[in-house]
Amino acid sequence: MDGATYRVLDGCRINKDKPLDFWFNGEKFTGYAGDTLASALLAYGAFPVGRGLKYHRPRGIYTAGSEEPNALIQLETGGRTQPNLRATQVELYGNLIATSVNAWPSINFDLWRVNDWLSPLLPAGFYYKTFMGGGVATGRWWRLFESSIRRAAGFGKAPSAPDPDRYERMNAHCDVLVIGAGPAGLAAAAAAVKMGCRVILADEQAQIGGDLLADDREINGAPALDWVGATLKTLSKAPDVRVLNRTTVAGLYDDNFVIAVESVGDRNGPPAPSQLPRLRMWRIRARQIVLATGAHERPYVFPNNDVPGVLLGHAIRHYAGGYGVVPGRRVLLGTTNDSAYRTARMLSEAGLGVTLADSREAPPPSLVEAVTRVGVTVEVGFAISAVRGSRRVCGAEISRILRDGAVASAPRSMEADLVGVSGGWNPALHLASHRGAKPVWNETQACFVPSNLTALGIHAAGAVTGVGALADCLDQGHAAGRAASKAAGKIRRTRKPVIEGDDVADPVPLQKIWAVDNRQPGGKRGKAFVDLQNDVTTRDIALAAQENYRSVEHLKRYTTLGMGTDQGKTSNVIGLALMGQQTALEPEAMGVTTFRPPYTPIPFGALVGRDQGELFDPVRETPMFDWHVANGAIFENVQLWKRAYAYLKPGETLEQAVKREVLAVRNGVGIMDASTLGKIDLKGPDIVKLLNMVYTNRWDTLKVGSARYGLMCREDGMIFDDGVTARLGKDHYVMTTTSGNAAIVLAWLEEWLQTEWPDMQVFATSITEAYATTTVAGPTARDLMSSLDSDIDWSNDAFPHMTVRTGKVMGVPARVFRVSFSGETSYEINLPARYGMALWEALVVRGAIPFGTEALHVLRAEKGFILVGQETDGTVTPFDVGMGWAVSKKKDFIGKRSYARKDTARQDRKHLVGLLPVNKSTVLPEGGQIVDDADQEAPMAMLGHVTSSYWSPMLNSGFALALLKNGRNRSGDTIHILSLDGNADEARVVDPVFYDKERARMRG
Amino acid sequence: MLLIQCPYCGPRDESEFDYGGEADIVRPKNPEKLSDAEWADYVFFRTNTKGRFKERWVHTHGCGRWFKIVRNTTTHEHGDVTVFGGVEPEAE
Amino acid sequence: MKPEWLTRYFTTRKGRGCVAEILTPSHPLSFPSRESGPDAACVILSVEPPLALLDLRCRDKAALNAFLNEPTGLGSSTVAARKTNPKASLSRLGPDWWQLRCHSRALADHLLDKADDTLVAVTDISDAYVAICLSGSRVRDVLAKAATIDLHREAFPVDSVARTLLGRVTVIVTCTKADSGGAFDIVVSRSNARFLWNWLIDAAREYGYTLKSAPEA
Amino acid sequence: MQRYSIFSLARNALSGHRNWPQAWRSPVPRQEYDVIIIGGGGHGLATAYYLAAEHGVTNVAVLEKGWIGGGNTGRNTSIIRSNYLWDESAAIYEKSLKLYENLTSVLNFNIMLSQRGVMNLAHNEHDLKEMSRRVRAIRGNGVDSEILTPAQIKQLVPALNTSKSRRYPILGASLQRRGGIARHDAVAWGYARGADAFGVDIIQNCDVIGIRRKGGKVSEVETTSGAIKAKKVGVAVAGHASVLAEMAGFRLPVDSHPLQAMVSEPLKPILDCVVMSNTVHVYVSQSDKGELVIGAGIDAFNSYAQRGSWRVIESQMSALVELFPIFSRVRLMRTWGGIVDICPDASPILSKTPVEGLYFNCGWGTGGFKATPGSGWAFAHTIAKDEPHPINSPFSLDRFISGALINEHGAAAVAH
């Protein structure tokens, strides 16, 4: 592009000694350090940078901050691209690449503009009224149009490659969090620091000062920025103060938990230095909060108000004062309040032709005199009634205006290439509403202000309370800082500093104008846009009222008003006020839609921080984990544990490995890492009382050195865990649980002990990780154990099944349990975890074959032992799985009463059965649904499902466990199991124990 | 995000606790005397109050103790921490 | 076949061929010391030797004092804090829950033998936990990346103890030194030790860190 | 009711759309109605519509305390599917899906049903077994469902990370092709317009503060706009079910929880089907306007505040970026919350109650939107006939007494 001809002043935010080249839509531009992408572009004039969502009319930069509806851009490319950024919030850096979005083929020639000509056919909510043809299978039309609607909508594109940058989280605590570093925020922070508080001051802008950066305000007779500098120095010297600029406070939650996103490595452009995060998510717990978030200017609406070159009046002042940019030569400012006069004076003093149309009958004489003295033409009682032009403003019209905004005279044509409109101020009270508090309407300021939230520890100060004068902001800020410090418990006597601002002596309240309706003959017709991003016009609001979508929420959802990325920051209040005019309701009665976090959009990565990839979730490793990894183990995730599923020898398939491991245990001796099983140490005199209540069977008779299996149910009578509990001493037991339920069972015991039976003397402590557990199982297990240097008598008489012995194994104190899930002679050796690896290696060297969880599941299934979570799913009772024997008739226990209920007591519930496929070589599908008639029409009468199904090397046949309706009484029947390809497998119902029915091997 | 006042550890972030639902539901002394409806009332039916609601929390990742608070289920304001029997909170 | 997601610092111990009669202990965090990052002194991470740690549960303060006073010289405390002397350090975790860290294995064994004739429930959890030490000028920032408790020097002075969450891992944090950024002792369950160690190193990358060599495993 | 179509749209364009009639009236409530429906959400409005359309009962009022569709109907992630495990659930959710498939033409209101497929991911052995059981049970119930390999998954959803070296690698998925999304507001407005055309009175800003009974029979409803008599009263107020039950003098097996959801900024098309994962706990779809619509589970504590804790959003987001690493730089635009009423067995209550003439429709928990038409259809039958239809008789309040629960929590996610 040719030179930046609109850079006419020296902006206080930019450094002219550091020019920065950047690319926009493929063309090269130059800006300065301190510029935003928006200010740098405006230096070349107000040309189109985006397109409206629906009519795709050209749109220019409209504001100077986070409330920007138009200037959405796609930043950078490839893995680092970011869609939908606001040019007004992108800090300029060297070699920045940005492109416009949502236009095809180009921003200056967009074919989707056809929608603007078809607009009579596209009123608000048109899509609810059409695309409905296509007969019974309706939606055929809709499917056809849906893909084109999706392509037209959507603005930017998602990145195509994973994100190379880092993100961090940081928790922080403070007495007082001040949100917003404008005059009010700085005064509040200074007051809180003087009271001895830990203070965090956060502001979304790169530079500190807020509105004071916009022009030549004065505090205590000196330039305001000197006061800002002095205040910042005192803050930096204080011990516990953190000043966070470039940090957007995005959400405010219960008990003043606040989230804020700081741009760290992002500031001088990608790539961020390798260790630095691109963004840091602050998670702040503040005792008290000062809300000094200021206010957003709002426009009033008139036909054709979306032409590039129409901006908010205050934005023009920020671009002039902050960045030295005025994107026009002839300026027309339309205002309803005093704030535009300072802008008019600044622009006129810079040599631009300025006309100020003030809609009020009697604006403050001092202001009118001050601006006319420097050459501004003031049109009292006039408002902008239209703008001419399509890609650029090339003229406007002003009309005399009545109190309610109705036009009272023929329009007067005005020469203008830059239009500023100032309709009033909306306090940025979003954060105060995040905790559910509804804002209240302030009639004199014609805006919604936060309700009094000091009870929640939130103190509002400055423009967010609706005040405009600088002196008020400074006073309120100081007062809020002190009040917050006191509420945070920091009481210190401090002197109130003298701070005066240069405010208007004779202020006049604003005039409430929402839209200028230009139906005068000769007046320029055209769409008057309320929501510039979602293309919602005044006609759309009238249509919503006409069709009875009259509540403020129906208005929003029917017209999509305020549902864009700016969340209606400049449009919501105008929209609801215009609807109020149609339905004779004041804004107070209309109310607002709910303000929701985040205040402005946050990248997903900032929420995730470093919880990604390898650190996404903890990995729990057993003491023998390194050995499994080094010896061909395939792992499965069991909760957070990594458990060896099977050990593949080189060239072995999974099936072959499992078969080898099963045969090793059945014929020789296998070892398994069982360290993940929950182990709970119980101490105290009342353990038996506890066990009798949580397990279904009785525990009074368990002798020291013995162990017993138990089923644990919830109060609805359904199984939720099982395991063996052994008695080590008079008042010392150890309970084992399934791996997945280790924490759940300990929590279950603690809940009952603490909340229901506090006088029961039992202490429960998790020792799961204190012991490494190795299961040694198989017919030669005893020989292997005997070969170890140990003082334990391994003979069957001295150490029978279901008992526990303690002693030394290879010089280390150990507890050994004779319990068997595989059905073979089996020892579970527990020794201090630090020795787990050494024992495992010693057993491998002595010829034991490691086996994984899959082999264990084949072994236990052959024995008909249930697996909680596979045979049971929270709807299965002990009786259903044939363990009525374990349910005590006499004592009460948790869940017992539920067995007497009608549905739980009925005899034809689903029972555990065994299934043998008629064709021996089939392995029945797990989860297969069982039916009697495989050819019936769907929905079919399904009688149960296959819970576990494997190939048994011992039976040389597939076999399965299943839950079958009335299964106990159907032994010998043939049933069908549906398969996904339409036909079915046949199987015979048999007893669920397939191998060693007499349990001789286990007891051998 | 609640800041919960554990009676033993002081104020801690909500993420350290697990929720225990409605408080003061006492297990019936002899369940076998109850009708199915009375048993269901204990196991399944809840008050689910809109407003001030007495509920149980457990400081799972802290001291492991159960305790009760009263929380307003519409505004989330909370306080009135009370403990279960058996162990008294010491003065911090 | 080592799963690719495993980037661990560990020494692989292939099955050693010897027929060892006496078992030797192993430690999940055993690896050489290494410096890394721009300013290595910001965060120093080191691993404590294997613990001699006893879990004490008791509702009768007198019984607990009687059990502890003579052998350790430490009495129970009501405040969530640590009492320490050359023999051992006692941390209170709950109203009826303490953990005693014996500075010698002998002391732990002695107390375990005495356990039967006292109302105190004593459980040896030495191998269930691993202790990691952090110190250096930015140690509080590293911990604040995941700890939600306030670690400010006034809110969490020396000898303060808190059982809390570091991200998704439950730990016991103790402030052991206040000067030069402070020093903290982190006790984490053995199975989570390696994950937390990797997590701490990743958290310290931004500031620069040093790994102190692991003790004799 | 003026028919909506491309032709009526063109015709009205000529007169600047100034002649469109009201979509529904805002009448002053009468003294008495045959049936009062409390709750102007999707379920309440659908019930009123089917009472009129299927059973000819038109002397009906729908009382809504705020604005219709303002509760959970306007706060859900608009997902539609019927891939449920138990036969009873499959029946009612499939009935709903079948009604959805013709709803646009039946109501003459485009609900923008987009049957783009709903995919459930499996990340471990337990998930694979659970998935196999669900798909087979669903097929047995005559509902479409299929199993996909990781390669097929990558082809359908290129943005997904299907690499083997993730913490929770994707081992497979089930897919219901007839599942998808619809515009939730349009469902409420379509039923409201349809019911209004039959003469049903829709009364907004009318909060019910009391339910009067005479001789064990419901007689009158007390509201902020005065008392209204009725022979039958149907309650469909979702998260507020317990509040209304208390007015009628009985309790429910229900707890109300926040259910949060969120949307990203609008993007060009990047995700063409609904992706759900229980283990890496999140689900996501892309709306027609381009936003990624994201949700997961409830906040643990009871609440009526329509908002929840930040940590729930953080964990959903970690799960989403774990599944879709390319979304890390996409930005979160808005988060919000609804109030969902959860039963112990995560199945609804569509039932008569201890009070004669008073019927309750609640307990839909996180699955209310997909059930809207089926729930309204069955509830209308129950009210009209004073007897539940076979499709909703299993979902009686008494099941909690008999123990015949329908446990859709599935295996309590317990791994061996």
- Could you tell me where the beta strands, DSSP code E, fall in A892-1004? 910-917, 929-931, 944-952, 957-965, 974-978, 984-990
Q: Helices (DSSP H) in A810-920: which residue ranges?
A: 836-845, 853-862, 902-905
C194 and A619: CB-CB below 8 Å?
A: yes
Where residue D232 sits, what CATH number does that domain have? 3.50.50.60
What tens digit of pLDDT does each residue of A544-592 get?
999 999 999 999 999 999 999 999 999 999 999 999 999 999 998 998 9
With tokens 């991003």, the residue in question is A533
For residue B4, give how far its alpha carbon lies from the nearest alpha carbon of chain D (Å). 13
DSSP code, position B74: T
- For chain B, say whether C163 makes contact (Cβ under 8 Å): yes
**One domain for residues D29 and D140:** no
- Could you tell me where the beta strands, DSSP code E, fall in A313-433? 330-335, 353-358, 377-380, 382-387, 396-400, 412-414, 418-422, 424-427
For residue B53, give how far its alpha carbon lies from the nearest alpha carbon of chain A (Å). 17
CB atoms inside a 10 Å sphere around CB A907: 9
* B92 lies in some domain: no
Surface-to-core class of residue A493, CB atoms within 10 Å of its CB (0-12 exposed, 13-18 middle, 19+ buried): exposed
User: Which residues from chain B sit within 8 angstroms of residue A764, using beta carbons?
Assistant: none
Is C160 a residue whose pLDDT tops 50? yes
Where residue D267 sits, what CATH number does that domain have? 3.30.9.10
Where residue C195 sits, what CATH number does that domain have? 3.30.1360.120
**One domain for residues C136 and C117:** no
B21 and D251: CB-CB below 8 Å?
A: no
**One domain for residues D213 and D142:** no
ipTM: 0.94
With tokens 């491309």, the residue in question is D6
- For chain A, say whether B32 makes contact (Cβ under 8 Å): yes
**C-beta separation of D255 from D341 below 8 A:** yes
Q: Name the helix (H) or strand (E) containing C166.
A: strand C161-166
* C133 lies in some domain: yes
Out of C99, C126, C153, a domain closes at C126
A5-9, A840-844, A927-931 — which is least confidently predicted?
Answer: A5-9
User: Tell me, what's the pLDDT at B73?
Assistant: 97
* B20 lies in some domain: yes
B62 and C164: CB-CB below 8 Å?
A: yes
- For chain A, say whether C79 makes contact (Cβ under 8 Å): no
What tens digit of pLDDT does each residue of A777-828 get?
999 999 999 999 999 999 999 999 999 999 999 999 999 999 999 999 999 9
- For chain A, say whether B80 makes contact (Cβ under 8 Å): no
Is B91 a residue whose pLDDT tops 60? no
Is C25 a residue whose pLDDT tops 90? no
What tens digit of pLDDT does each residue of C90-149 get?
999 999 999 999 999 999 999 999 988 888 999 999 999 999 999 999 999 999 999 999
- pLDDT grade for C213, boundaries at 50, 70 and 90: low
D166 and C5: CB-CB below 8 Å?
A: yes
Q: Which of D350, D331, D355, D319 is nearest to D230 (CA)?
A: D355
Give the type of residue at C153: R
**One domain for residues D32 and D144:** no
CA–CA–CA angle A185, A190, A192 (5° rounding): 95
Where residue A478 sits, what CATH number does that domain have? 3.50.50.60
Query: Residue C191 is nearest to which of A767, A769, A810, comparing CB atoms?
Result: A769
Question: Which residue has better confidence, D44 or C17?
Answer: D44
Rounded to whole angstroms, the Cα distance separating C39 from A476 reads 44
For residue B24, give how far its alpha carbon lies from the nearest alpha carbon of chain C (Å). 22
- For chain D, say whether A543 makes contact (Cβ under 8 Å): yes
User: Within the 283-302 window of chain A, which residues sit less than 8 Å (CB to CB) from chain B?
Assistant: 285
Structural domain of B77: 3-26+33-83
Rounded to whole angstroms, the Cα distance separating A281 from A167 reads 8
Count of C-D CB contacts under 8 Å:
6
Query: Which of A435-444, A847-856, D14-23 is the most confident on average?
Result: A847-856
Percent of chain A whose predicted confidence (pLDDT) is above 90: 84
Of all residues in chain A, the one with the smallest CA distance to B74 is: A436
Residues in contact with A735: Cβ distance below 8 Å, sequence separation at least 6, in sequence order: A678, A679, A680, A682, A691, A723, A725, A745
A605 and D328: CB-CB below 8 Å?
A: yes
Tally the domains of chain C: 2
Which chains neighbour A (Cβ–Cβ under 8 Å, 3 or more pairs)? B, C, D
Structural domain of A948: 907-1003
Query: Which of A146-150, A587-591, D185-189 is the most confident on average?
Result: D185-189
Structural domain of D352: 25-109+183-253+345-402
* D1 lies in some domain: no
- For chain C, say whether A622 makes contact (Cβ under 8 Å): yes
Count of B-D CB contacts under 8 Å:
68
Rounded to whole angstroms, the Cα distance separating D337 from D411 reads 27
User: Which residues from chain B sit within 8 angstroms of residue A434, using beta carbons?
Assistant: none
Q: Tell me the backbone φ, ψ of residue A258, rounded to 5 degrees.
A: -125, 140
Out of A441, A463, A487, a domain closes at A487
Out of C94, C126, C158, a domain closes at C126
User: Which residues from chain C sit within 8 angstroms of residue B15, using beta carbons?
Assistant: 148, 165
Which chains neighbour C (Cβ–Cβ under 8 Å, 3 or more pairs)? A, B, D
* A339 lies in some domain: no
- pLDDT grade for D410, boundaries at 50, 70 and 90: low
* B78 lies in some domain: yes
Query: Residue A720 is nearest to which of D18, D23, D412, comparing CB atoms?
Result: D412
- For chain D, say whether B11 makes contact (Cβ under 8 Å): no
What tens digit of pLDDT does each residue of D336-393 get?
999 999 999 999 999 999 999 999 999 999 999 999 999 999 999 999 999 999 999 9
**One domain for residues D281 and D329:** yes
Tally the domains of chain D: 2
User: Within the 73-92 window of chain B, which residues sit less than 8 Å (CB to CB) from chain C?
Assistant: 86-92
Rounded to whole angstroms, the Cα distance separating A234 from A236 reads 6
User: Which residues from chain D sit within 8 angstroms of residue B43, using beta carbons?
Assistant: 344, 400
Mean pLDDT of A986-1004: 94
- For chain B, say whether C17 makes contact (Cβ under 8 Å): no
Mean pLDDT of C188-199: 95
Which chains neighbour D (Cβ–Cβ under 8 Å, 3 or more pairs)? A, B, C
- For chain D, say whether A906 makes contact (Cβ under 8 Å): no
Tally the domains of chain A: 2
For residue D164, give how far its alpha carbon lies from the nearest alpha carbon of chain C (Å). 9
User: Which residues from chain A sit within 8 angstroms of residue D86, using beta carbons?
Assistant: none
Mean pLDDT of A142-157: 84
* B90 lies in some domain: no
Count of A-D CB contacts under 8 Å:
362
- For chain A, say whether D155 makes contact (Cβ under 8 Å): no
Q: Which of C152, C148, C143 is nearest to C164 (CA)?
A: C148
Of all residues in chain D, the one with the smallest CA distance to C168 is: D315
Computed on alpha carbons and rounded to an integer, the radius of gyration of chain C in Å comes to 19
- For chain A, say whether B63 makes contact (Cβ under 8 Å): no
Q: Is the Cα dihedral A567, A569, A571, A573 positive or negative?
A: positive
* C6 lies in some domain: no
Mean pLDDT of C34-61: 81
**One domain for residues D165 and D276:** yes
User: Which residues from chain C sit within 8 angstroms of residue B62, using beta carbons?
Assistant: 94, 162-164
- pLDDT grade for A904, boundaries at 50, 70 and 90: very high
User: Tell me, what's the pLDDT at A133?
Assistant: 64
Query: Residue D401 is nearest to which of B15, B19, B37, comparing CB atoms?
Result: B37
Pairing of strands C161-166, A929-931: unpaired
* C71 lies in some domain: yes
**One domain for residues C199 and C156:** yes
A837 and C150: CB-CB below 8 Å?
A: no
For residue C50, give how far its alpha carbon lies from the nearest alpha carbon of chain A (Å). 9
**One domain for residues C76 and C152:** no
User: Tell me, what's the pLDDT at A140?
Assistant: 66
Structural domain of C88: 53-126
Of all residues in chain C, the one with the smallest CA distance to A619 is: C195
A811 and C168: CB-CB below 8 Å?
A: no
